[in-house]
Structure 1
Amino acid sequence: MNETRKPRRPDVTAVELVGGVETLTLDLHDYDDRWAGIFREHRGRIRDALEAMDVGIEHIGSTSVPGLAAKPIIDIVVVVDDITAEEDYLDPLLAVGYELRVREPGHRLVRTPARDVHVHILERHDPAVDEYLLLRDRLRSDAADRALYESTKRTLLSERWDDMNDYADAKTDVILSIKARARESLGQ
């Protein structure tokens, strides 16, 4: 059953990049077993900060896939009921030391001051959450797709990227093909 909810207020309509454009340095590191522990530490920190809320917290991105080389940035997705109710989740996350980096329609991003943990806040039932988990789970379970993804990232990182979004966009075709195989294997 699809829940209908009414947001407290209209969502933002533009992208706000707090702090402006930053210098981009991209490099891959071999998988580090410590990444899972860093995620668990931040999951606890987030859970404690948002204890009054019903939230989902998942480790996503390349650091969530054992054996996959990655940029050493832990990506976490936090699922909330109402993205417009920032006072419920944003204020508590800022209070425990995260900093707001991005506010855009349907998505907020906070991160550590060291920029080594990115927390993506999305609304419950946002299809992006399922897409993140589909890719993560496929990369965790399929060695060939994991190798393809890592090879693609290594090839792309041999080029110069002035914008992280351009680098992310360049991976799109490979990501779509991996997710298509994941859906096929799940009978979707």
Structure 2
Amino acid sequence: MAAPRQIVIQPYDHQWPSEFERVRDRLQEGLGDVAARIDHIGSTSVPGLAAKDVIDVQVTVEDLADRRLVPAFEGLGATLTEITSDHVPPGDRSGPRAWEKRYFRAPASWRPTHLHVREAGRANTRYALLFRDYLRHSTPAAAAYAEIKMTLSRLHPEDVDAYYAVKDPVCDLVMDAAEQWADGVGWSP
């Protein structure tokens, strides 16, 4: 039996943006026009935010059913997983399709990277970008979010399910403030 995966939150690393750029360049070269855009998302994309040392990448595509998608990622050495949906926030009325995605495991030769593939115009694509941009804007929200993640990693260092059972609803709370901010400043991805 494999040892449980350890959840480790570390201080912000100033190398994360340049490490994302290297991953992005590989993806752009390997995916070509399959990718409509490639964004650095998640905690490593927010300057100063403590995070797991994993670069989260959102690859936005025009159509998740594009027949070129899986072969393009496989050509990079990435592996499609069984993860096909994101967490759906409570009260969301957009329907399950709005939260559908593909998730690829990056090759072992890459630095730790999560490859989230989402379709343009869907709720989950917008969620990831707005969450990132709001935390970049609000230092207090980013600091509180970091504190929650560090506490969860101390309380549940080997229990990924417990970690996300608390973290996902916290993200939804942050998104409520993010939506108000977005309306006030006219934010768009």
Please give the TM-score of this superposition, normalised by the length of structure 1.
0.80
SS state of the match for residue 49, structure 2? coil
Aligned equivalent of 2:33, options 8, 33, 52 = 52
Q: Structure 1 residue runs of 4+, over 3 Å off?
A: none
The alpha carbon displacement at 1:181 in A equals: 1.4
The CA distance in 2 between the partners of 1:56 and 1:23, in whole Å, is 34
Q: Partner of 1:119: helix, strand, or coil? A: strand
Q: What secondary structure sits across from 1:110 in the alignment?
A: strand
Superposed CA offset, 1:30-50 (max 9, x none): 111111111111111111112
Deviations 1:104-141 (A, max 9, x none): 25211112233711110111211001111111111111
- Residue aligned with 2:33, SS: coil
Q: Does 1:89 align with 2:77?
A: no
The CA RMSD over aligned residues, in Å, is 2.1
Cα deviations across residues 1-60 of structure 1 (Å, max 9, x unaligned)? xxxxxxxxxxxxxxxxxxxx9832100111111111111111111111121335111111
Picking from 101, 112, 115, the partner of 1:107 is 101
Instruction: Give 1:153 deviation, angstroms.
Output: 0.6
Give the number of equivalent residue pairs: 167
**Matched letter for residue 110 of structure 1:** F
Other structure's SS at 2:102 match: strand
Match 1:176 to one of 172, 180, 183: 172
Pick closer, same or farther for the CA change 1:90–1:36 going to 2, 3 Å. Answer: same
Return 5+ residue gaps in structure 2 as ranges: 86-99, 185-189
Larger proportion of helix = 2
Percent identity (aligned):
31
Q: TM-score, with normalisation over the residues of structure 2?
A: 0.79
- 1:133 maps to amino acid: L
